[in-house]
Amino acid sequence: MSFRSLFAVVLLALYGTLAWTPSASAQAPRPAEQPAAPARTPAASSLPGGATSLQETHGDWVVSCALRGAAKRCGLTQEHTNQQTRQRVFAVELTPVGDKVEGVLLLPFGLVLDQGVALQVDDQAEGQPLRFRTCLMAGCLVQVTFDARQAAALRGGTALKMRVTPEGSPSTVLAISLKGLGAALDRTIALAR
């Protein structure tokens, strides 16, 4: 199963929102697991060119949008891989919701879960650690919500730093590039209409 399919299954199981079309086995979640999706329109309109799904690259971000039944689901993602092993190290999926940005971080196993993840945009003050929600086969998940002020900082920043603590080691920082984030958020908002 590809990373995107596995990540889609994980997100569908937890949040009911996807930025891409999941595998056939992930298309029928239980109703109790489907909270209202923020980037979903009541009646799906077509995507550009009449497509049923699309992916576009904006800087270091991939915008994905798919029609599923009467719903349109759109989001933006970024994945980091180890260049030597070509294995995923971490990934992030974000969805604009009004003036906020919500999403999930998919982080590797081997982290001290009780320490959480502290986020920081560039050299701004580091936020309070966020708790891990759960760990699944693909890795450990952290739900994120950025308010309007934080979303503006992300748009104007160069890197979102994640301070994590590997088991038996001092804390370390993983960085998410913010190059192209503003354009990716704007495009996701436009496509979700």
User: Residue 98 contacts by C-beta under 8 Å, 6 or more apart in sequence?
Assistant: 38
**Where would I find the H helices in the chain?**
3-14, 148-156, 181-192
In the prediction, which pLDDT does 24 show? Answer: 32
In the prediction, which pLDDT does 49 show? Answer: 81
Distance of CA 27 to the CA centre of its chain: 19
Six-digit token string for 15: 């949040």
What is the CATH architecture assignment of 3-192? Sandwich (2.60)
Query: Is the pLDDT score of 41 beyond 50?
Result: no
The CA–CA distances, whole Å, from 117 to 25, 125, 145, 166, 172 equal 31, 14, 13, 11, 10
In the prediction, which pLDDT does 178 show? Answer: 98
**Where would I find the H helices in 25-178?**
148-156
In the prediction, which pLDDT does 68 show? Answer: 86
Query: Is the pLDDT score of 18 beyond 50?
Result: no
In the prediction, which pLDDT does 28 show? Answer: 37
Confidence of residue 1 (pLDDT cuts 50, 70, 90): very low
Report the C-alpha gap between 121 and 124 in whole angstroms. 6
Going from N- to C-terminal start, the domains of the chain cover: 3-192
pLDDT more than 90, % of the chain: 69
